[in-house]
Amino acid sequence: MWAITGMLDEVDGAILAETLASFTRPPDTHDTTTPAQRSADALTDMSKAAAANTPPRRGVRGVHPGGFGEPAHQ
């Protein structure tokens, strides 16, 4: 199991909250999943979507470490 904690500024926190909400499924009548677990599931889904569609930000594969999709300066 993993636990994640951290602090974000207001702008980044709002972006994360909005994106997380868009990936969080609403409970149905037979759902016993807690809201916290649904949020954790949404974070996993966000990570999978990002991994499938966006190059990493660590300067590999020609990506500039300053942001997604920016070409590395050579």
| Model confidence, pTM | 0.66
Can you give the pLDDT of all 74 residues of the chain as single tens digits?
888 899 999 999 999 999 999 999 988 889 899 999 999 999 999 999 988 886 666 554 444 455 444 444 44
What gap in Å lies between CA 70 and CA 52, rounded to an integer?
Answer: 17
